Amino acid sequence: MKRNIEKSLYIVAVCFFLSAYIVFAPGCALKQVQYTAVGTAMGTVITQHIYTKGENITGNIMEIITSLEQDRLSYRVSESEVSKINAQAGSDLFIALSKELNDDLTTCFNVSTKSEGAFDITVGPVTRLWNIDAWVSGENTEQKIPEPEQICSTLTHTGFDKITYSDDQMLLPEGMSLDLGAVGKGIACDRIADYLDQEGITGAVISVGGSILTYGEKEKGILWTVGIVNPRNTETPIGTVSLSGEWYVSTSGDYERYMEVDGKRYHHIMDPHTGYPADSGLSSVTIVCKSGILSDALSTACFVLGEKEGMELADYYDAAVLFVDIEGKLVMNSAMEKIFRQTKEN
């Protein structure tokens, strides 16, 4: 975990081309200040650059992320709303959902339906069978590939279409559970943007692991430049996207958490139909769109679907998409062509 966070810190540092500065607005008594903070939450690194004439709100933002994780989303925290729902799996009483979680689940089920199950928040039993958490810690746990029979029987407890879900309540069948790991960081970016609106912040760029929010502007007419990780050389960005105002950038890749057995890479993005890590010939997918949860869900869904169907899905949601395949070839849709610039040496 610690090693992963140190590595992520390094990646974040090289991926942002942001300069620290203080702007003195001409003819204005209040000066705009840049606050920068780096911390950890949701098992990942949080980097904040906030441009404001007000107070330093970086601590409040860390609290928003932590309470989202602890009170709402984490299936590992017994008091969270998701854990309480999971604890009621198999009950024939409908489970009432908070408005916030209901809205997020509506988006998740929408992407699940449109991606024909490539994105599925009930995939948790499969990721636990593969024990992907142990890959995060980097400990030598003598990883094994699960037996096909184990995978088959685990798949009987997955499938979003087995859930009865209407408006703000659901019935979760016995043995099933919700895992919002694929969208937690994107949801955090959405909540942070709401808070920045509330506080009247001038500009910000905030990364929650692989999900990044750009907001407002730091200086009139200056675009945000966000580095996109090169999946086979995480120390040098493969390129950058230039963005004006509020956007959400999420990348899912096979380089974050994986194990190698007999030269084959097994990573943490599962194909819910097979119960094995997605094998779509991709090493990363980056999505840029107007919603954090959507950017995060789509990066996972497109990774599972592969280039052709992933491109159709991204276009359906008006999202820009960049695919990097396992040979290092780049493919993108026209929305991405307008904002992406490849780094020269790649």
Looking at the Cβ atoms of 230 and 299, the one nearer to Mg ion is: 299
Contact present, 44 and 28 (Cβ < 8 Å): no
Contact present, 143 and 178 (Cβ < 8 Å): no
Residue 83: contacted member of Mg ion, ligand ADP, none (CB under 5 to 8 Å, by partner type):
none
Interface region with ligand ADP, contact rule CB under 6 A, candidates 50-58, 86-94, 263-271, 315-323: 263-271
Position among 296, 306, 319, 340 found at the interface with ligand ADP (CB under 6 A): 296
Phi (first) and psi of residue 291, to 5 degrees: -140, 135
- Compute the distance between CA of residue 310 and CA of residue 305 in angstroms, rounded to an integer: 5
Looking at the Cβ atoms of 120 and 296, the one nearer to Mg ion is: 296
- Compute the distance between CA of residue 277 and CA of residue 275 in angstroms, rounded to an integer: 7
Interface region with ligand ADP, contact rule CB under 6 A, candidates 58-66, 90-98, 216-224, 297-305: 297-305
Helix (H, G, I), strand (E, B) or coil at 151: helix
Handedness of CA 119, 122, 128, 134 (dihedral sign): positive
Report the DSSP beta bridge partners of residue 285.
Answer: 252, 323
Task: Decide if residue 179 touches ligand ADP (CB under 6 A).
Answer: yes
Task: Decide if residue 304 touches ligand ADP (CB under 6 A).
Answer: yes
- Compute the distance between CA of residue 320 and CA of residue 291 in angstroms, rounded to an integer: 12
Looking at the Cβ atoms of 69 and 179, the one nearer to ligand ADP is: 179
Per-residue binder mask for Mg ion (CB under 5 A), 217-256, x = binder: -----------------------------------x----
Residue 123: contacted member of Mg ion, ligand ADP, none (CB under 5 to 8 Å, by partner type):
ligand ADP
Task: Decide if residue 210 touches ligand ADP (CB under 6 A).
Answer: yes
Per-residue binder mask for ligand ADP (CB under 6 A), 221-260, x = binder: -------------------------------x---x----
Position among 50, 129, 269, 336 found at the interface with ligand ADP (CB under 6 A): 269
Using alpha carbons, select from 172, 150, 175, 148 the residue that is nearest to residue 160. Answer: 172
Residue 108: contacted member of Mg ion, ligand ADP, none (CB under 5 to 8 Å, by partner type):
none
Position among 65, 85, 182, 243 found at the interface with ligand ADP (CB under 6 A): 182
The rounded Cα 61 to chain-centroid distance in angstroms is: 17
Using alpha carbons, select from 15, 340, 301 the residue that is nearest to residue 186. Answer: 301
Residues, the chain, total?
Answer: 346
- Compute the distance between CA of residue 331 and CA of residue 316 in angstroms, rounded to an integer: 17
Task: Decide if residue 336 touches ligand ADP (CB under 6 A).
Answer: no
- Compute the distance between CA of residue 106 and CA of residue 124 in angstroms, rounded to an integer: 18
Interface region with ligand ADP, contact rule CB under 6 A, candidates 30-38, 64-72, 174-182, 198-206: 174-182
Looking at the Cβ atoms of 23 and 89, the one nearer to ligand ADP is: 89
Contact present, 283 and 325 (Cβ < 8 Å): yes
Report the DSSP beta bridge partners of residue 330.
Answer: 324
Contact present, 111 and 301 (Cβ < 8 Å): yes
Handedness of CA 309, 313, 316, 319 (dihedral sign): negative
Helix (H, G, I), strand (E, B) or coil at 203: strand
Task: Decide if residue 190 touches Mg ion (CB under 5 A).
Answer: no
Smallest gap from Cβ 299 to Mg ion, in A, equals 5
The rounded Cα 151 to chain-centroid distance in angstroms is: 25
Position among 154, 177, 280, 299 found at the interface with Mg ion (CB under 5 A): 299
Looking at the Cβ atoms of 179 and 190, the one nearer to ligand ADP is: 179
Position among 35, 119, 165, 247 found at the interface with ligand ADP (CB under 6 A): 119
Q: Which residues sit at the interface with ligand ADP, rule CB under 6 A?
A: 119-121, 123, 127, 132, 179, 181-182, 185, 209-210, 252, 256, 268-270, 272, 296, 299-300, 304
Q: Which residues sit at the interface with Mg ion, rule CB under 5 A?
A: 182, 252, 296, 299-300
